Structure 1
């Protein structure tokens, strides 16, 4: 006798109905995930380009972060669609096809970026994108790069000093996690070096864009860690679908969505 049959003989009607609903939802989620995997594999890196002689894959509008359930063991809480889209568009602003964007432990923004740049009729820049992520479920995307903040520099060598746009949302509100992820972003940053003709000293700067989204209680540490990249607290507060903790957005630029605020 199978386990499922044994359960059905011992469960109450209400419990059995709940179990049946659970299995149905799980199967539907698995089907969505497999469709996404097939679509990502068929993409072959040519985002937004459609071969009219071949059947098209699912429309960009079908792509959703909600295909992936939040994993609390990974400390995952997805941004609201509005927040994810807003942050994605700020990363895209001013880029070109030659730009490099690194999305670090922020998969909801990566999905928003991919959705924007694969939308039918999209004519904007299509920078090279990389998702640095610990959750192997996101390996369905060819841009996936496994990342564990415990080893902040264990990444492909070609990414060192190559990234023009970066966003990170550290999974844990601890000094260790925040510090190591800041080390990663500084390693990724494509900086420029200038020489002071008077002193003959070299100085480096990051002309790109960097965003950090994390809890308010990490504000002092974040401003200190990312000072070399010109980061400061902004007026924008990211919204999560199910998380009520106060989050802040830190950036090295101002825009029409936020301004810098004085350090608290």
Structure 2
């Protein structure tokens, strides 16, 4: 057999490779159908001003997705909205359930009420059905739209992994986005595992973030103890005594 004859032979895949390819294609088609369904639902709800449920977005534990309980997502959303107006910019980082709660609150408001500018920074592109979606990967902390640099007044972050690397890089994104006078006027909320408290205090030191008394909960429960950290006190929480200085 000549080299040219060999080159002309069609490539064939093993039965195992063909099965894997078919499975990949089926998963890709399923993801596309799911996205289209979510988009249709989001558009229909927007037209009817109906609330959106997080039940439409199943958790993927392999991606470290654990949605907050209805109480917690609504609680955080209302803290971000307190005193906000049309000149306020709010960023929600890796906490899509809080975004959905905030979206529902704003949808229920009258047209005459103040509507701050909202951004959802999230890795899961299922949430691309919302115009506020910005794709975000904590491993690339500055790969963000230029319009966000030094533009954010209020922010909540829930880093997807309880690691120093994830917490540190997420904090880098926060510092990049917050307005220059953020240390005095901002609202920074960090909702994460309690064992991250020391790291959180260190990487958000310039904002004065400390542990507060509010205890977030998750819809399906979570073995890791979670806590809320913030750079301010309010009627809803105070500094936690063990963290006071």
TM-score of Structure 1 vs Structure 2, range by shorter chain: 0.7 to 0.9
Q: What's the CA shift for 1:98?
A: 1.3
Tell me whether 1:255 sits opposite 2:223 in the alignment: no
How far apart are residue 64 of structure 1 and its match?
A: 1.2
1:219 aligns with one of 190, 197, 209:
197
Q: CA deviation at 1:32?
A: 5.6
- How many residues align structurally? 211
Q: Of residues 172, 179, 184 in structure 1, which corresponds to 2:173? A: 184
Give runs of aligned pairs for residues 99-248 of structure 1, distance below 5 A. 99-119=88-108, 121=110, 124-192=113-181, 205-244=183-222, 245-248=224-227
Query: Secondary structure of the residue that 2:243 maps to in structure 1?
Result: coil
3-state secondary structure, aligned to 1:213 = strand
- 8 Å Cα contact 1:211-1:252 kept in structure 2: yes
Root-mean-square deviation (Å): 2.2
Q: Deviations over 1:185-215 (max 9, x none)?
A: 01111122xxxxxxxxxxx734110100000
Cα deviation for residue 37 of structure 1 reads: 3.9
How many Å apart are 1:83 and its aligned residue? 0.5
**Which consecutive unaligned segments of at least 5 residues does structure 2 have?**
1-30
Structure-1-length-normalised TM-score: 0.75
2:70 — aligned with what?
Answer: 81
Shift of 1:59: 3.1
| Structure with the higher fraction of residues in helix conformation | 2
**Residues 214 and 248 of structure 1 are in contact (CA less than 8 Å); yes or no, is this contact kept in structure 2?**
yes
- TM-score for the superposition, normalised by structure 2: 0.80
- Point out where structure 1 has 5 or more consecutive residues left out of the alignment: 1-25, 44-56, 193-203
Partner of 1:35: 40
Cα distance in structure 2, aligned partners of 1:30 and 1:102: 23
By how many angstroms is 1:175 displaced? Answer: 0.4
Give me the whole-angstrom Cα distance separating, in 1, the residues matched to 2:230 and 2:113: 23
Pair 1:67–1:129, CA change in 2 (3 A): same
